[in-house]
Amino acid sequence: MALTCSSSELAQILGPNSTAAADYICSQFTTVNDKFTDTAYAVDSTYLLFSAYLVFSMQLGFAMLCAGSVRAKNTMNIMLTNVLDAATGGIFYYLFGFAFAFGSPSNGFIGRHNFALKSIPSSLFDYSYFLYQWAFAIAAAGITSGSIAERTQFVAYLVYSSFLTGFVYPVVSHWFWSADGWASAANTNNLLFGSGVIDFAGSGVVHMVGPRIGRFDHTGRSVALRGHSASLVVLGTFILWFGWYGFNPGSFAKILSPYSSGSYYGQWSAVGRTAVTTTLAGCTAALTTLFGKRILSGHWNVTDVCNGLLGGFAAITAGCSVVEPWAAIICGFVAALVLIGCNMMAEKAKFDDPLEAAQLHGGCGAWGVIFTALFATEKYVNEVYPGKPGRPYGLFMGGGGRLLAAHVIQILVIIGWVSATMGPLFFILHKFNLLRISAEDEMAGMDLTRHGGFAYAYHDDDEGNKHGIQMRRIEPSAQI
């Protein structure tokens, strides 16, 4: 609450001939109030920047996860695509993406202002908000980079990644996150089913490319093409776990927002609760996957557990801010079952995804959207999305079915939009023979055929290293 001071009222209290003193005192009040306002902006901007850095660190997590999940002969290729997600995404999101997503005022379908950050900073956005949303956009591209790994031409990936971060993803984020979006919970003047869509921090995207050579034998039976490094998978998973604390709690965009003046409870509490629900959902999904896969396969598989953990995070992302911690455990438990079930269906359909991204982010993400519509609490919904009393909330919490209807529509329109935009793009790339590499290149590995050498050096002799990183033998006598 702002500090206010009226010189005329203060002069009456101080007595006659006190106008100058009243003016001076009120000017000091104004100065103090301005300092408080400046501090609040600085704290919130710093919080958002720190969250952006956390989300950006997820690119390293994706890079390690992808590298460990593919075969060694394609490591350089997948690492390069992760680097270029950030690089191309930065340029295209700066030029077009942010404007399409958040350019305001606009219509309900797409933004139309702030191209190349024109008129930024403003009363609506500062540079920190752009950086945070850019980190989100490249995360969307990073999620799918490993899904089409080991068989996709590099130029096709560049086209796809640029189109995704510059247009496809921004339009979807405008629908659900912009104050002007047709289904946004922030669009209080025109809420879908009176609630809008409560997708607090977002969900995944879908993709389609054929399976890798050898993924299924001549009888159609599944053949495991294991990634070459479980260590990199675990490292990437922990980095993603760390980054998710910027992804979910950071989506509040500000932290210095009291719900009632002078209370220990405010938006900082909601930020902490969001971190807790995120943690519990991931932990529950990891343990459920561990025992579920043990029953099904007879093994304790670390990569399956890592995917289960990430599936729990993907599921809780939509409702992390509006559900109780106990509900997050339910979310993670069901997410693990959804992931296992989706993997079974993918195997039967001969759908090849080295990182299980469609199953993990598509299946678990869709479950998370439904979960939010079932378990969102009235109190948290009104705190996180103020300005519209009486919003619908979770069906199982007594809030009726309107939020569930809005979320079902969200799932359907995202599937429709991505299919209508990315489908023709992939079809065109396929027709021009730009989508898939040749069988010979795929068998040899893209590191050798497309990137000039292998990521790892297996021998010290020159002949063994002619395609790899050159290494020099260090004799024991030369060591210190």
Output the six-digit token pair for 386.
Answer: 């103020």
So what's the pLDDT on residue 208? 28
In this predicted structure, what is the pLDDT of residue 203?
A: 39
Tell me the pLDDT tens digit for each residue of 72-123: 888 888 888 899 989 999 999 999 999 999 998 888 899 999 999 999 998 8
Q: What band does 346 get if pLDDT is binned at 50, 70 and 90?
A: confident
Q: With 60 as the cut, is the pLDDT of residue 339 above it? A: yes
Mean of pLDDT values over 150-166: 86
Largest CA distance in the chain: 101
Q: How many residues does the chain have?
A: 480
Residue 319: which of 251, 398, 372, 248 has the closest Cα?
Answer: 372
Q: Residue 245's pLDDT is what?
A: 96
Q: What is the pLDDT of residues 175-190, one digit of tens each?
A: 988 888 888 888 777 7
Matching residue, tokens 């932290």: 255
Q: Are 471 and 457 in contact (CB under 8 A)?
A: yes
Contacts of 408 (CB under 8 A, 6+ apart): 370, 373
What pLDDT, on the 0 to 100 scale, is given for residue 267? Answer: 92
pLDDT score recorded for residue 431: 87
Six-digit token string for 406: 């809005």
Q: Rg of the Cα trace of the chain? A: 26
Contacts of range 183-191, beta carbons closer than 8 Å, 24 or more positions apart: 183/406, 183/409, 183/410, 183/413, 185/385, 185/391, 186/385, 187/108, 188/387, 188/388, 190/108, 191/388, 191/391
Q: Looking at 208-212, 236-240, 334-338, which range is the least confident one?
A: 208-212
* Predicted confidence band of residue 465 (pLDDT cuts 50, 70, 90): very low
* pLDDT classification of 216: cutoffs 50, 70, 90: very low
Q: Please tell me whether the peptide bond between 105 and the residue prior to it is cis, using omega within 30 degrees of 0.
A: yes
DSSP letter string, 193-222:
GGT-B--SS--------PPPTTSB-TT--B
pLDDT given for residue 225 in this prediction: 58
Task: Give residue 352's pLDDT.
Answer: 67
pLDDT at 143 over 90: no
The burial class, CB within 10 Å (0-12 / 13-18 / 19+), for 126 is: middle
CA-wise closest residue to 289 among 333, 224, 241, 329:
333
Find the mean pLDDT for residues 18-43.
79
Query: With 60 as the cut, is the pLDDT of residue 467 above it?
Result: no
With 70 as the cut, is the pLDDT of residue 219 above it? Answer: no
- For residue 216, what are the CA distances in angstroms to 1, 47, 72, 387, 458? 64, 48, 20, 54, 29
Percent of residues, the chain, with pLDDT higher than 70: 84
pLDDT of residue 335: 97
Please give the pLDDT value at position 92.
95
Statement: residue 473 has pLDDT above 50: no
Whole-angstrom distance, CA of residue 59 vs CA of residue 343: 24
Query: Higher-confidence residue: 313 or 151?
Result: 313
* pLDDT for 17: 66
Q: Evaluate if residue 359 carries a pLDDT over 90.
A: no
Confidence of residue 211 (pLDDT cuts 50, 70, 90): very low
Confidence label for 3 from pLDDT (cuts 50, 70 and 90): low
Give dist(CA 173, CA 166) in Å, integer.
12
pLDDT of residue 240: 96
The set of residues, in sequence order, having a beta carbon less than 8 Å from that of 180 and lying 6+ positions away, is: 104, 105, 106, 107, 108, 111, 174, 187
